[in-house]
Structure 1
Amino acid sequence: MSQSVLPLSQYVLKVHSRCDLACDHCYVYENADTSWRGKPAVLALDTSAHIADRIAEHAAEHALSRVNVVLHGGEPLLAGPARLNDIATTLRDRLPEGCVLDLRIHTNGVLLNRRFLDVFEKHEIMVGVSLDGDREANDRHRRYRDGRSSYDQVVRAINLLHERPHLFAGLLCTIDVENDPIAVYEALRALDPPRIDFLLPHATWDEPPHWPAPTAYADWLIAIYERWESQGRPVEVRIFDSVIRTLHGEPSLTEAIGLEPSALLVVETDGSYEQVDSLKVTFDGAPATGQDVFRNSVSEAATHPGIVARRGGVAALSAECRRCPLVTACGGGLYPHRFRAGSFDNPSVYCQDLFKLISHIRDAGSMENHKLELSQFATGFGGWREMRALTATQSSIRRGAMRTVGPQEEAAWAALRAYDKTHRHAVDRVLAHPFVREWAVQAAQKKTSTAYLGNIVAAVALAAAAEGTFTVEVEQGAAHFPSIGTLTGLTGSSATVSVAEGEIRHHAPARWLPARRLTCGDFSVLIEDSDPFRDCYQLPLTGRLTAAELTAWQTAFDAAWHIVETEFPEYAPGLRAGLTTIVPLTASAGDDDVSSTARTAFGAVAAALPRDPATLALLIIHEFQHVKLGAVFEAVRLFDPKDTRLHYAPWRPDPRPLEGLFQGTYAHIAVADFWRRRRITTGAFGAHVQFARWREQTAEAAETLLASGVLTETGVWFVERMRETLTPWLTEEIPAEAVSAAKVSARAHHEAFETQNQ
């Protein structure tokens, strides 16, 4: 394997270099580059064989597990179904064993018919269709050469695709800011696509876009974003999903934003290698590499300076871009859009639009303007209504994570989307399980298989009492169905299961182990002792609890929840609305106060069974503070995440980053409050000591946060509300002996910290 060349895994294959429409915003025929005139109209079969060999050679050289090929044009359907069948057959036949071919086609749709669909079905070719909105919007640009509308033909093509929805990749819409954004969005959404891709018109500083206002394109997209969010994100929108992902440090879904190195190569109908196709808007011959499939390998093409330039990350951007606070989310925009006077060392011509759009999504998604909704959280509490709002935010995040990895499992994804229309309550129930998102995060990072999506879909069918047959992933002889149960006694890495009337149909030796719950009165939580993705706490887990162990947990939970409701009633509504799951941990020797939470597992608290119900009540209240604040952090930007300073935390032996100190301070409001109330109900000296220590040290930690200088305006407001809760407690009377003992304990902790961290 070559170690010096970054592999190219994405190819745009031009199968026809002419078009049957005359769109006036087309970057191929209406801009600076005229090289299409000298290219063969259709890709010859012997040329396609050379292309397939080169792609296969490169895939083998770099041990690629997946190659993405988009059949493009011009208009690729002009090549005809027979030619497309031959090209697809050649590509699939030549790839090395173990390398998956993801084959797609982008078309204007006017020629699409069932003969084409038969070819696409045979070769599993996903179809993307270009459409700019409703009839009026589409006909501004997408017309035949004689001026006729193409709208009806394109809608007819989309309706044909709905006969085979598993082949429908989505709609591509080029933005025209003269069109009504909501009318465009709703017209596209009414066609029920799996995805909408809004594209900025290709432009450069030398040939700028039509700008009726300085940020017209951002404003246009923001109007759609607001409608999309208000509807609960009913369809994937690539640019919005990509911005949300890059703001969370995840890879973009489009080359238009983000810093991921380009892995794309264009191959023309004459077999020549070209750089990204949109370079045609910059100058004549801009995409050319001077290489082709007959003389050069793909690895040689990968070393071309123009291709290397698009793989340099932040260092390859202009100085102005590198100084921008949003550079990691924006990535400088699309490479061709940076062109000005012979140089690409510039920000995007859409710089102001991208900055405004990304900032808006960051701030709107972070609820910066919703302080009233956050006020109860900031004080350390948070009732039923506030938790429901935060839970809705988490639901959007989970669905976004699913949209990232779900489409990789086409059959399961299609089934999940179908259930989302017919049994949305069941989909919501299963996706709300804390460890579904943990799986999605691991799958996005390629740390685990995407095949587990089949288990999730089967769980939805069980929750909906629907019927279906599913291929599920098996690990260590068991197939887990999140929030529902586990089927054990299986062999192999996968199994086919049938679901009917809310039950798994199975035969011996397979055994069904239902998920179990802990209850107290009308409140219950799942006791999650089986989910394969619950191991995210860096603490040892139990296996499936025995009957005796489950009884012990039930007894403790019943008593603990009674304590919460009678002694800590302000916390109960929030817990009812947000706590869904308890994960049993194994206690270390001599320490049964073991507990934890994980950012990706909203709604879950992990704990070892403590020595008494009061301690379990404390652990639940304390850890759920972390659950709440972790979700708030994902909804609100409270501090500068780039700050790397470490701080003393009175509850930890190690120095903590600001986020860790923030989390601990927030959680210890509840710890101090717990002992504040328990000292009254029990009169115990130890409770007085605990309250005396934690009210002082939590208040000091809050002052450290306020003095850090890296809190946002909302962050300052939030911590000030925390301080308002703590301040009255500092004047409550405590026995002098307890105050003295608390100071001794605090001093000993600090001295030990200093010694350990010298």
Structure 2
Amino acid sequence: MDTPWRPLRHFVLKVHSRCDLACDHCYVYEHADQSWRGRPAAMAPETARAAAGRIAQHAARHGLTSVGVVLHGGEPLLLGPRRLRAVLEELRGTISRVCELDLRMQTNAVRLDEPACDLLLEFGVRVGVSLDGGRAENDRHRRYRNGASSHDRVRAALRRLREPRYRPLYAGLLCTVDAANDPIAVYEALLAEEPPRIDLLLPHATWDTPPPAPLGTWLTTFHNRWAADDRPVPVRLFDSIRSLGLGGPSQTEAVGVDTGDVVVVETDGAWEEPDSMKTTRPGGGATGLTVFDASADDVTELPAMRRRRAGLSALSATCRACSLVRQCGGGLTAHRWSRAAGFDNPSVYCDDLKELIIAINEHPGPVAGDLGALPADAFDGLGYGYGDAAAVALLAEAELAVNRALVAEVAGETAFGSRLLAELESQAPGVFDEVLRHPFVRSWAVSCLDGGRDCDPDWAAAIAAAVAVRAGLAAEVPVRAHGGRIHLPTVGFFAAPAAEVIVTAGPGSFTLRWPGGRTTVTAGGAARGWHEARWVTVDGVRILLEDADPYRDRLEHAATGHLDAAAAGGWSAALAGAWSALSLDAPDQLGGLRQGLRAIVPLAPAPDGTLRSATSRHAFGALGIAHTAAPELAVLLVHEFQHTKLGAVLDLIDLVPDDAGGDRLRVGWRPDPRPVEAALQGAYAHLAVADVWRRRADRNGDDQGRGLFRTYRDWTAAAIDALRSGDRLTPAGARFVGRMADTVNSWPG
């Protein structure tokens, strides 16, 4: 199976393999794999040392900036304070020399007393606690071996975690779902513990050992109450499904395509797949490797781990054909298992996940700040760094409304413009809108309203003539030359022999007339002196190759002159190649590009041969790019389209407060400190570029690509941290940048 290589960044250490509770739904002790019986109860110091060394080796070898380690069991607190301190010292001392270490613990909390909390606080360990609801719900499964309740001791530990001193330890609650429990009672009991986050765990099951009852109604009932309460606390499963639906990342291996970046180290040092695999069969999850004889790199090359990185190709035909597959991702790998077909099945929870996903998709998210004309899901999808076709279509419609208002304001100052444009709009509204969507219509209007050096209000006549010509309407429009040319936006240009040319439009052709001469342009665009606008069609998308518009010079770099046929053909081929590259390296960007990309402005190449590209805030959908090869062109298309999307968002919604104008941020990609909005623009563009290089490096196994991914990722992450500090963002801006952070945090360290 041809799968991308990806480093591991999440490690689960089984520091103790026994438990002081006897939960009857536990996958370690109650399910198919019983290998715990032959393993040492506690992880020995030499095993912890070897594990820490392997993790540090892997992080150093692949330039990881951070890794996560979760202390797990059994019950990790059974290790006792002395041995637990030794393990924490080993992990911090070894791994922190190489990269940042995110240390966590998952516990049943019955031993989470004050000394334990002090120790965990000393080493910066965040704690997740297992709790299934109130007393009745929790005691259905989570009891001591003698049948006694664990609920009071767990709640006492949670009260301790809510104290100001220990609150930094509190990571959240893990609740195993049971259809026999009342979902509203469970929701209210969990919420009463004031958790930073809730994880809902589907009880591990396979097609050979299916769950006792459907869970779809339970999950949707819980979700709908949570949504009605305005989502008072993050719920990882729900948030991940919604994020995936908007093109964002998953926060859990339970949904979305498994990235295969989690591995377990058992108490004897054995490398294993995630614990959920223990529910499949005896030896489920075993790799045959240990930290004493194999590196983490060796683990990533195992067939089982390669399967976890195989994406949609690893899923059953049923899953691949499902419209919800990108949100569901086939569910948890273990839940697809059957003896008859292995993992070539949908999840045993397929119907439940479908019901939940549909419910989540029907509930828009809460609004943080004024999101203007953008629904919350569109806003968040754009914030993740993508934005699907529907979200970008909303931006395009909003930008059209801006163009219409600006054109009306300027045309109203001309002798005839406003009246003529109104008549043409009434006769051909669709064509009228298409011409007004032309990116440089707004550039012209803004130049006039700002008193620009080349302000020409009468260019409104050229817009009117373009509408009449494209619609084949009977109209006669006098158009003044601009720079020696008559340019009809989206139609073409004519080297004018006079200061004014009369454009007479009609069905199938139009005539250009001036004192002493005239020429007729047929539907094919053939006429002496007339140059038809160049359109390139790529995968069904029609893009204007804009080499003549007089207002295209609003970009940072100079545009080329008019292209000859060979140069235009070269652009067509390069764009086709770039589009093919994007289908592999930026598939989540294609929908937005289809809706929003209107024009490519060929730029003059840089004298030193470096790549060159630019956009203008006042030219939505126009990307200026100097000609380059298809792989590089693909990156530039994504980079610049991010700028045009964010510019449109900023037209609608204030992400940066008005009083941030004097603030400056240091960023990795520029030597000079940048204004807050410029830093946001750069971070947003580099987020998408990092994602391209991440996918490209995974696909090609390319060390140079991995290095570029890390560079862009680190630049983006640092800028996001700076933007989120202080009061540099509005509430909507904080939400938007938070979504950006979710995407960056989902990538390998």
Under a length normalisation based on structure 1, what TM-score does the superposition of the two structures give? 0.55
Look up the match of 1:237.
235
* 1:692 matched to 2:423: yes
CA contact (8 A) 2:246 2:387 kept: no
Residue 206 of structure 1, aligned match among 199, 202, 208: 208
**Taking structure 1 as reference, are residues 634 and 58 closer, same or farther at Cα in structure 2, changes over 3 Å only?**
closer
Look up the match of 1:185.
187
Alpha-carbon distance between aligned partners in 1 of 2:396 and 2:286, rounded to the nearest angstrom? 56
Provide, for residues 133-166 of structure 1, a one-character-per-residue CA deviation record: whole Å limited to 9, x for no partner. 0111001110111111110010011111122100
Look up the match of 2:73.
73
Q: Partner amino acid for 2:534?
A: Q
Alpha-carbon distance between aligned partners in 1 of 2:285 and 2:129, rounded to the nearest angstrom? 24
Q: Partner amino acid for 2:250?
A: S
Instruction: Trace 1:482-501 onto structure 2 (pairs within 5 A).
Output: none
Provide, for residues 310-356 of structure 1, a one-character-per-residue CA deviation record: whole Å limited to 9, x for no partner. 11111111111111111111111100000012501111111111112
Residue 271 of structure 2, aligned match among 262, 270, 273: 273
**Taking structure 1 as reference, are residues 187 and 319 closer, same or farther at Cα in structure 2, changes over 3 Å only?**
same
**Taking structure 1 as reference, are residues 217 and 630 closer, same or farther at Cα in structure 2, changes over 3 Å only?**
closer
* 1:255 matched to 2:257: no
CA contact (8 A) 1:669 1:698 kept: no
Look up the match of 2:491.
751
Alpha-carbon distance between aligned partners in 1 of 2:253 and 2:274, rounded to the nearest angstrom? 10
SS of 1:103's equivalent in the other structure is: strand
CA contact (8 A) 1:266 1:276 kept: yes
**Taking structure 1 as reference, are residues 46 and 662 closer, same or farther at Cα in structure 2, changes over 3 Å only?**
closer
CA contact (8 A) 1:24 1:30 kept: yes
**Taking structure 1 as reference, are residues 103 and 675 closer, same or farther at Cα in structure 2, changes over 3 Å only?**
closer
Q: Partner amino acid for 2:422?
A: F
Aligned-CA RMSD value: 3.3
* 1:364 matched to 2:109: no
SS of 1:687's equivalent in the other structure is: helix
CA contact (8 A) 1:693 1:743 kept: no
Alpha-carbon distance between aligned partners in 2 of 1:260 and 1:336, rounded to the nearest angstrom? 11
Deviates more, 1:628-637 or 1:22-31: 628-637
Return the offset for 1:690.
2.9
Instruction: Trace 1:541-552 onto structure 2 (pairs within 5 A).
Output: none
Instruction: Trace 1:26-65 onto structure 2 (pairs within 5 A).
Output: 26-65=26-65
Look up the match of 1:298.
296
CA contact (8 A) 2:204 2:335 kept: yes
Provide, for residues 440-491 of structure 1, a one-character-per-residue CA deviation record: whole Å limited to 9, x for no partner. xxxxxxxxxxxxxxxxxxxxxxxxxxxxxxxxxxxxxxxxxxxxxxxxxxxx
Return the offset for 1:662.
6.2
CA contact (8 A) 2:246 2:377 kept: no
**Taking structure 1 as reference, are residues 121 and 742 closer, same or farther at Cα in structure 2, changes over 3 Å only?**
farther
Look up the match of 2:350.
351
Q: Partner amino acid for 2:353?
A: L
Provide, for residues 285-315 of structure 1, a one-character-per-residue CA deviation record: whole Å limited to 9, x for no partner. 1111111111111211221111221111111
Alpha-carbon distance between aligned partners in 2 of 1:330 and 1:222, rounded to the nearest angstrom? 15
Look up the match of 2:545.
none
Return the offset for 1:226.
1.6
SS of 1:17's equivalent in the other structure is: coil
**Taking structure 1 as reference, are residues 358 and 743 closer, same or farther at Cα in structure 2, changes over 3 Å only?**
farther
CA contact (8 A) 2:378 2:390 kept: no
Alpha-carbon distance between aligned partners in 2 of 1:659 and 1:14, rounded to the nearest angstrom? 44
Return the offset for 1:92.
1.1
Under a length normalisation based on structure 2, what TM-score does the superposition of the two structures give? 0.56
Q: Partner amino acid for 1:131?
A: L
Residue 196 of structure 1, aligned match among 195, 198, 217: 198
Instruction: Trace 1:154-165 onto structure 2 (pairs within 5 A).
Output: 154-163=154-163, 164-165=166-167
Look up the match of 2:17.
17
SS of 1:236's equivalent in the other structure is: coil
Identity of aligned residues (%): 46
Deviates more, 1:164-173 or 1:3-12: 3-12
* 1:224 matched to 2:222: yes
Instruction: Trace 1:343-742 onto structure 2 (pairs within 5 A).
Output: 343-365=342-364, 393-395=366-368, 432=369, 602=371, 628-629=373-374, 633-634=378-379, 663-665=395-397, 668=400, 684-700=415-431, 740=475
CA contact (8 A) 1:672 1:690 kept: no
SS of 1:105's equivalent in the other structure is: strand
SS of 2:68's equivalent in the other structure is: strand
CA contact (8 A) 1:629 1:666 kept: no
Q: Partner amino acid for 2:74?
A: G
Q: Partner amino acid for 2:355?
A: K
Return the offset for 1:674.
7.9
Look up the match of 1:317.
315
Alpha-carbon distance between aligned partners in 2 of 1:85 and 1:636, rounded to the nearest angstrom? 43
Provide, for residues 494-546 of structure 1, a one-character-per-residue CA deviation record: whole Å limited to 9, x for no partner. xxxxxxxxxxxxxxxxxxxxxxxxxxxxxxxxxxxxxxxxxxxxxxxxxxxxx
Look up the match of 2:282.
284
Q: Partner amino acid for 1:20?
A: D
Q: Partner amino acid for 1:364?
A: H
SS of 1:365's equivalent in the other structure is: coil
Return the offset for 1:685.
1.9
Alpha-carbon distance between aligned partners in 2 of 1:636 and 1:693, rounded to the nearest angstrom? 36
Provide, for residues 392-419 of structure 1, a one-character-per-residue CA deviation record: whole Å limited to 9, x for no partner. x441xxxxxxxxxxxxxxxxxxxxxxxx
Alpha-carbon distance between aligned partners in 2 of 1:35 and 1:316, rounded to the nearest angstrom? 27
Provide, for residues 704-728 of structure 1, a one-character-per-residue CA deviation record: whole Å limited to 9, x for no partner. 9xxxxxxxxxxxxxxxxxxxxxxxx
Structure 2: gaps of 5 or more residues: 436-467, 481-485, 494-531, 537-749
Q: Partner amino acid for 1:751?
A: V
Alpha-carbon distance between aligned partners in 1 of 2:32 and 2:94, rounded to the nearest angstrom? 36
**Taking structure 1 as reference, are residues 19 and 691 closer, same or farther at Cα in structure 2, changes over 3 Å only?**
same
Return the offset for 1:63.
1.7
State the structure with bigger RCO (CA 8 A, min sep 6), 1 or 2: 2
Return the offset for 1:689.
2.4
SS of 2:50's equivalent in the other structure is: helix
Provide, for residues 178-198 of structure 1, a one-character-per-residue CA deviation record: whole Å limited to 9, x for no partner. 111111011110111101101
Alpha-carbon distance between aligned partners in 2 of 1:88 and 1:264, rounded to the nearest angstrom? 20
Look up the match of 1:146.
146
Look up the match of 2:459.
none
SS of 1:257's equivalent in the other structure is: coil
SS of 1:332's equivalent in the other structure is: coil
Return the offset for 1:47.
1.4
Structure 1: gaps of 5 or more residues: 367-392, 396-431, 433-577, 579-601, 603-626, 644-656, 705-733
CA contact (8 A) 1:339 1:345 kept: yes
SS of 1:194's equivalent in the other structure is: coil
**Taking structure 1 as reference, are residues 632 and 344 closer, same or farther at Cα in structure 2, changes over 3 Å only?**
closer
Look up the match of 1:170.
172
Aligned residues: 449
Look up the match of 1:337.
335
Return the offset for 1:51.
1.2
CA contact (8 A) 1:271 1:294 kept: yes
**Taking structure 1 as reference, are residues 238 and 83 closer, same or farther at Cα in structure 2, changes over 3 Å only?**
same
SS of 2:63's equivalent in the other structure is: coil
CA contact (8 A) 1:14 1:72 kept: yes
CA contact (8 A) 2:246 2:381 kept: no
SS of 2:492's equivalent in the other structure is: helix
SS of 2:103's equivalent in the other structure is: strand
**Taking structure 1 as reference, are residues 46 and 394 closer, same or farther at Cα in structure 2, changes over 3 Å only?**
same
**Taking structure 1 as reference, are residues 700 and 65 closer, same or farther at Cα in structure 2, changes over 3 Å only?**
same
**Taking structure 1 as reference, are residues 149 and 169 closer, same or farther at Cα in structure 2, changes over 3 Å only?**
same
Return the offset for 1:698.
3.7
Return the offset for 1:741.
5.1
Look up the match of 1:429.
none
SS of 1:229's equivalent in the other structure is: helix
